[in-house]
Amino acid sequence: MKLRPNLNVKHEVRIPARTAVDFEVRAGEYVRMTDVCGQQAADCGACSGANPNEWLSAEHTRAYNWRLFPRVGESFCTNHRRPILQLVEDTVGVHDMLICACDAYRYRMYGVEEPHPNCRDNLLGVIKRWGFAHTAIPSPVNWFSNFALASDGTIEPREGASKAGDYVVLKAWIDCVVVVSACPMDLNPVNGYCPTDLVATVLTLEEPRIEVAGG
């Protein structure tokens, strides 16, 4: 399903496997998140460009749409219950907004003693560059993550449903900062046991073509 008009690329950044990036998106602009190789989770957060203490909130978004995850046409909202990003295109349809970002403690539970890249440190690292005082990160939107939810409440991590080149497109309702971590998890099926790159693209409305008559 596609709700967006034709768009121009304003800014594009490749997110190498196991790392994170941040970028600004203006109100009315779009951001496309592309899973380059498939089955790669993108742990994503966003906050208001004017107030970093207003952020995309998973729990508020569930109550905003009365769904576990927005459908195309529905929006993510902030902890101030304002819409921040609208899902306008989705070639996958399987994502997660229940599970926290991976962190050093999670890898220790898997028996990893040496430092292991993780989404929490990735996201905190880029957030700190903006001078934000956050020492915790909000629950992320986990694009391309597949946590199967059974009727008895059981959650099972599975390999992602995304194929190479799959993407989602979001429209910004307000000026915001978006952060994305290419999840480094290689000890469960979430990234197919093989973390890979993502691409984030900021898109703007196509400029109208002006024909000049005469000459």
Report the C-alpha gap between 147 and 102 in whole angstroms: 14
Which of 49/117 has CB closer to Zn ion? 117
Residue 15 makes contact with Zn ion by CB under 5 A: no
Instruction: Tell which residue, 185, 189, 208, has the closest CA to residue 18.
Output: 185
| Residue type for position 39 | Q
How is residue 99 written in tokens? 């599970």
Q: How many residues bind Zn ion (CB under 5 A)?
A: 4
| Candidate residues 17, 169, 170, 183; the one interacting with Zn ion per rule CB under 5 A | 183
Which of 29/103 has CB closer to Zn ion? 103
Which of 33/183 has CB closer to Zn ion? 183
- The minimum distance between CB 97 and Zn ion, in angstroms, equals 14
Residue 24 pairs in a beta bridge with: 177
Can you say whether residue 178 is alpha, beta or left, with left for phi > 0 and alpha for psi between -120 and 50 degrees? beta
Residue 87 makes contact with Zn ion by CB under 5 A: no
Tell me, residue by residue from 96 to 115, as one string, x for binding to Zn ion by CB under 5 A and - for no binding: ------x-------------
